[in-house]
Structures are given as C-alpha cells and as structure tokens.
C-alpha cells in the first residue's frame, strides 16, 4: 500500500492533521502521476514533539549501536535500490540509467562513507585534566532539495544518526517520492520511535516552521541561496545553528598547457550532467583567448552528442528539467545571453526538435561571454555552458573569484604542481583538478553565499555535534 499520502511520525505512518494534497508532476510528460499530502504547523509540532521525546535516550546510545543502525540502513537501502532509482526518474526526470548509476548510487556511497567515518570517530578526548566531549546537538530539522534527493537526504540523515541526534526531514515537495521510499527504508531498520520523522510540504508551511521552531536545535538546509536566506532569518530568533549548502556558479579554468579538446569535452559533460541541475556544476569555462575559437568548435561537437529525450529510453543522456518554473527560468536566461550579445554556438530557446511536451531544454553553449553578462553571473541550473576567453592566468583567477558564490571550482592542466598553485588561489569550498572521481570522504560546502558548514563523512558528523568541556575531570 502506498504511503504517498502519509507522514512518518513517531515510528508510524500517519495521516496529516488537516487533509491537503499536492500533485507530483512527471516532468517528462507534464502530467501528475501521484499525490502527496502537504503538512502544516500542527504536523510539524507533532513531529518535533516526537523527536524531542526520543532524544534523551537515543543520544545515550553507544557508537556500536548507532553503527548497527547505519549498517542495517545500508542493507535495506541496497535491497530497495531499484525502487529509489525508479522514483527519481518519475519525480525529476533523470534518465533511468543515470538514476541508477548516479542518483541512487550517491545515497549508497554516502552511507558507506558515514559508516566508515563513524567507526573511526572519537567522541571524547583528554586535554590535560579537562575532558572534551562531543555530543549530539539535539533535534535537527533537515530540509532537502529536488535535484539530488538521495544524496542530500543521506548526507543529512546518516551523520545526524551517527551523532546521536533525532530529526524531522522535509524533502522537496517537487520530488518527494524518493524521500518517502527512504522513510520506508528507515522504518525497516528498527530505530526507536521518534528518532526519524518525515513531514512533506512546501517551504512556507513546513520548512519555515521547522526552521523557526523553538524545540529544533539545528536546521540543515540545501537549496537556493534565496531560500537559504529565508531559512536563516526564520532560525535567527531562536539562535539555533544553521548549516547551509546553497547555490553556485563554478568556474572551470582550462590552462594553456591542458589538452584543450579533452578538457573542453569533459567540461561540457560535467556542466550538463543531471540536465545541468547541480549546484557545483562547472558552468563558467575560462579558456585562453588564443584557443577560444577551437574551444567553441569542440564544445559544440560535445554538446550535440548529448541526446535529450524520454528518461526511460536506453540512449537518453539528458532528461527534462524538473518543472515548468525551472524551464521558464532557463529559457529567460538563454534569451538574456542572446540579447546581451554572447555567441550562441549551439542550442538556444525552446525544446529540442521532435519533443513537443515535457520540460526539455536544448543543450546550449555560449561563446564570447563577457564577465558582466547575466549568464556569467546568475545560476542557471540547466544544460547551459558559458565560455569566457582570458588573456592571462591572473585575469582568469580574478574573474573566477569575482562572484557571490564559492561552492566549487575546477582547474585543468598537464602540470599538476601548477594546477595545485592555481587551486589555492580559488575561493571555493571544493576545487577539482583534472576532473577527479567523486570523493565522498572530502568536505563539501561553500564559501560566501554558497553557504556554511560542511557535509560528507566525518565532516558531516561534526556539524551535528556540540562540544562540551568538562573542566576538572581529572586524568
């Protein structure tokens, strides 16, 4: 029986206090495929009360007991892997192959990383005669986005469980079904009642209520910078900790000695992955001015290999973007690039040929992009790449850093020592050299308006802990 119209509170699937529903749209068809219930302050109060009641006993569990819960969570997650992938394809339009290989996989590998980190984590140590003790911060509110739903749910839930916290999760109402599947997974592992709770709903009715709730000790939010500001303001009156992973406009500096064809081709793929809906996507590609024309030709050829279409088709590379709102925003920004004089290399306005419904975007490359253009400043969140020529390395670094964001950056060079030097100059939370594999044991988070706090492995556990000094404890 479907739990789509239920919330998970105090160890049980329950009906909302006041019935209200929202259609969940399949972005490939623009049609509703299911409904969820949407909550309000009363539902949040019930979930927070359950989490608050569960905290005193759960936070006293041993590391071994929490490890057992996480290991069981991974076991059940793996058993439900295909259900997760199917849910992500339906709710956000990710090609099924990508949903399996990346979206569902992300939750799996972050669970593995958290388990490894918890095994090695020390919650106490002596400093002279003072005992330094790290303990769970309390009840935490977890607000997650639609673009990488399992990645962000696991990156919050797993370390919160590891730290000894209890929680209320609000998945995105745009892509909520994978979150419901995840709650079913949690329900199967035998956690004490009230440790994990899920309430669906929108930002104003549920997210802001969680953020402002006096019995929530911390809120961890991933989403847009605009929404993050609202969350932070809502949390301010109760002086709770706020951890945020927000927007990005990541620079990709291709240095003159790099293999241009390879660097540009991989850069296009990195920008377009997940239909461009990744906060750390390398959306600003800086290339040497002398190689600009060649870079445009390579980028055009690379972009045109990205087949857009039915997420269930085996040869589809890019599915639709998630919603009409996102589609309209991307179209507006593509038009701004054209109107402001950038060179449209490929792609452009409207759907790809042969697609007359669904939120499909044409993979788009702009060249001759000026640093001050809108497409170089605003986060587009679609398969749109801006290529900016530069005359000197100092110019590229200065323009890369001249943004309100600071989530990620990328450097390409055959000279690793030189690439490392450039990486140190970039003001971003993660700098990727020569397109490395995803490292789930690194620290992920941003500088400036890309947020605060860090996720992944032990870094994530750390964010859910308070530090207590017991002075006079003795040796």
Residue 131 sits in a domain whose CATH number is 3.40.605.10
127-182 tens-digit pLDDT: 999 999 999 999 999 999 999 999 999 999 999 999 999 999 999 999 999 999 99
342-363 tens-digit pLDDT: 999 999 999 999 999 999 999 9
Beta strands (DSSP E) in 59-215 are 124-127, 130-136, 139-143, 166-170, 196-198
Give the H or E element holding residue 286: strand 284-288
Residue 444 maps to a domain: no
- Specify whether 393 is located in the same domain as 429: yes
The stretch 182-192 carries a mean pLDDT of 98
221-252 tens-digit pLDDT: 999 999 999 999 999 999 999 999 999 999 99
| Eight-state DSSP code of residue 289 | G
Average pLDDT across the chain, whole number = 98
Q: Which of 91, 279, 379, 455 is catalytic?
A: 279
Residue 2 maps to a domain: no
- Specify whether 265 is located in the same domain as 307: yes
The tokens for 138 are 């309390």
- Specify whether 177 is located in the same domain as 85: yes
Sequence-separated (6 or more) residues with CB below 8 Å from residue 209: 40, 41, 44
Does the structure show a pLDDT above 60 at 474?
A: yes
- Specify whether 286 is located in the same domain as 424: yes
- For 114, the 3-state DSSP assignment is helix
- Specify whether 74 is located in the same domain as 152: yes
pLDDT band at 1, cuts 50/70/90? low
Classify strands 408-412 and 430-433 as parallel, antiparallel or unpaired: parallel
- Specify whether 179 is located in the same domain as 299: no
Whether 279 is catalytic is: yes
383-401 tens-digit pLDDT: 999 999 999 999 999 999 9
Domain count, the chain: 2
Does the structure show a pLDDT above 90 at 475?
A: no
76-105 tens-digit pLDDT: 999 999 999 999 999 999 999 999 999 999
d(CA 40, CA 26): 24
- Specify whether 240 is located in the same domain as 272: no
Question: Which structural domain, as residue segments, surrounds residue 398?
Answer: 251-439
- Specify whether 238 is located in the same domain as 296: no
- Specify whether 225 is located in the same domain as 261: no
428-458 tens-digit pLDDT: 999 999 999 999 999 999 999 999 999 999 9
The tokens for 276 are 């461009």
Token pair 């980028």 in the structure block, residue:
299
What Å distances lie between residue 108 and 81, 82, 247, 262, 270, CA to CA? 9, 12, 24, 30, 21
Residue 475 maps to a domain: no
- Specify whether 434 is located in the same domain as 453: no
- Specify whether 220 is located in the same domain as 354: no
- Specify whether 311 is located in the same domain as 432: yes
Classify residue 12 as exposed, middle or buried by CB count within 10 Å of its CB (0-12, 13-18, 19+).
exposed
The stretch 61-83 carries a mean pLDDT of 98
Q: Which of 245, 271, 379, 455 is catalytic?
A: 245
Give the H or E element holding residue 348: none
Residue 322 maps to a domain: yes
Residue 296 sits in a domain whose CATH number is 3.40.309.10
Do the beta carbons of residue 179 and residue 152 sit within 8 Å?
no
The tokens for 219 are 């809120």
Whether 165 is catalytic is: no
Q: Which of 408, 450, 456, 459 is nearest to 433 (CA)?
A: 408
The alpha-carbon radius of gyration of the chain (Å, integer) is 23
| Eight-state DSSP code of residue 33 | E
Residue 38 maps to a domain: yes
């Amino acid at each position: 029986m479907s739990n789509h119209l239920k919330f998970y509170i105090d160890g049980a699937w329950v009906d909302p206090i006041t019935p209200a529903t929202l259609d969940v749209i399949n972005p490939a068809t623009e049609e509703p495929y299911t409904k969820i219930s949407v909550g309000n302050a009363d539902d949040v109060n019930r979930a927070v009360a359950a989490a608050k009641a569960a905290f005193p006993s759960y936070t006293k569990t041993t590391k071994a007991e929490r490890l057992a819960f996480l290991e069981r969570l991974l076991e059940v997650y793996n058993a439900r892997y295909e259900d997760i992938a199917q849910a992500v394809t339906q709710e956000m339009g990710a090609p099924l192959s990508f949903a399996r290989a990346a979206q569902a996989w992300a939750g799996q590998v972050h669970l593995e990383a958290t388990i490894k980190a918890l095994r090695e984590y020390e919650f106490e140590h002596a400093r002279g005669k003072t005992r330094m003790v790290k303990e769970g911060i309390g009840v935490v509110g977890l607000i997650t986005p639609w673009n990488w739903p399992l990645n962000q749910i696991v990156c919050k839930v797993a370390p919160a469980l590891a730290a000894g916290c209890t929680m209320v999760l609000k998945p995105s109402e745009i892509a909520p079904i994978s979150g419901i599947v995840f709650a079913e997974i949690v329900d199967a592992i035998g956690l004490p009642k009230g440790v994990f709770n899920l309430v669906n709903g929108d930002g104003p009715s549920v997210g802001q209520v969680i953020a402002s709730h006096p019995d929530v000790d911390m809120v961890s939010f991933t989403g847009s910078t605009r929404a993050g500001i609202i969350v932070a303001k809502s949390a301010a009156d109760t002086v709770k900790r706020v951890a945020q992973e927000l927007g990005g406009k990541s620079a990709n500096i291709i240095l003159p000695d790099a293999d241009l064809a390879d660097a540009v081709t991989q850069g296009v793929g990195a920008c377009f992955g997940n239909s461009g809906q990744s906060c750390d996507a390398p959306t600003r590609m800086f290339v040497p001015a002398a190689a600009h024309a060649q870079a445009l030709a390579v980028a055009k050829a690379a972009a045109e290999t990205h087949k857009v279409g039915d997420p269930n088709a085996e040869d589809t590379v890019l599915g639709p973007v998630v919603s009409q709102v996102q589609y309209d925003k991307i179209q507006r920004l593509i038009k701004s690039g054209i109107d402001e004089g950038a060179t449209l290399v490929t792609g452009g306005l409207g759907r790809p040929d042969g697609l007359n419904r669904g939120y499909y975007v044409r993979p788009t490359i702009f060249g001759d992009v000026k640093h001050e253009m809108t497409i170089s400043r605003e986060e587009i969140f679609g398969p749109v790449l801006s290529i900016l020529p530069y005359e000197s390395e100092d110019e590229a670094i200065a323009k890369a850093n001249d943004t309100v964001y600071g989530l990620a950056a990328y450097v390409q060079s055959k000279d690793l020592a030189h690439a490392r030097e450039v990486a140190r100059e970039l003001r971003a939370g993660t700098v990727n050299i020569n397109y490395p594999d995803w490292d789930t044991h690194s620290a992920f988070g941003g500088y400036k308006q890309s947020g605060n706090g860090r996720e992944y492995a032990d870094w994530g556990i750390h964010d859910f802990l308070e530090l207590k000094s017991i002075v006079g404890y003795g040796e």
